[in-house]
Amino acid sequence: MVDITHKTNTLRQATAQAIVKVSKQETIDAIINKAVPKGDVFEMAKTAGLFAVKRTSDMIPDCHPLPIEYTAVRFEIKKLEVYIEMEVKTIYKTGVEVEAMYGVSVVALTMYDMLKPIDKGIEISTIKLLEKKGGKSGHKTEAHNLKAAVIVVSDSVAAQKAEDKSGKLIIEKLEKQLFANIAYEIVADDITAIQTKVKQFCDAGIDLIITTGGTGLSPRDVTPEAIGELLDREIPGIMETSRAYGQARTPYAMLSRGVAGFKGNTLILTLPGSTNGVRESLDALLPQLLHVFKVKEGLRH
């Protein structure tokens, strides 16, 4: 199965459709009047569909087992066709499109099985996904016209005794969100040096500044102090989300002292210095973090 351990739990939902077409009005009448010999067609088919949704991962090899937290089946009769809709919801790391499509398929097959003794001309068609919501694609916000800067805080990198990997990873992640012309600077672990560079970027109209390094427990780790003194408004939820995401993957995430907030119109994040810490933090925060710029723009107007 595909690795989804880097994903976050979010509300995900999907609606799928199938159409069962019968060959005569008498069949429709039998369904409506509950006169089909095998029983109540809609209730039996609905029950089968509910079972199917919950067992999808047993049938489809690459489907992950997941908690099904809501399922609904709807029927609509149009002349000789019965339109079936299956809606599925979960709060998990992956979507439920296949669950909805598998469930609606089983509903249709169950109807076929129950109706075939009284109608030999039944067809099943148009099994398709009608809608999906949730996940990162459901919170897609692209960084058109937003300016970003990355500041690597490291004595060893500044002295050219070590190679920067974390800052370059941040740039790679931001480019995927369509940030362009991302500024890149390296400074030593020094409060004045960090603050000077941040102020320069803020004065230049940068929308997003991300630092990497200096968030640990060493006496040289001063980035949170440097940035904290500059912030006009802290947004605790950003780093809470990042730490919670990291904590689920490594117990050491709780030791990060990162902060986040606005200085003027510039959002500033302080990420750890390790590449894993950076990767996990941005996996937790992007792209939904970019919604803050839409909110800010709305408040401005």
Catalytically active residues, by annotation: 113
Using the structure block, give the residue that is written with the tokens 């709305």: 298
CA separation for the pair 249, 256 (Å, rounded): 14
In 179-253, which residue ranges form alpha helices assigned H by DSSP?
191-203, 223-228, 236-247
In the chain, which residue ranges form alpha helices assigned H by DSSP?
25-32, 41-54, 56-59, 97-115, 155-158, 166-176, 191-203, 223-228, 236-247, 275-285, 291-300
CA separation for the pair 228, 217 (Å, rounded): 16
Query: 178 burial class (0-12, 13-18, 19+ CB within 10 angstroms)?
Result: middle
CA separation for the pair 281, 239 (Å, rounded): 8
CA separation for the pair 198, 209 (Å, rounded): 8
Contact 16, 129 (CB under 8 A): yes
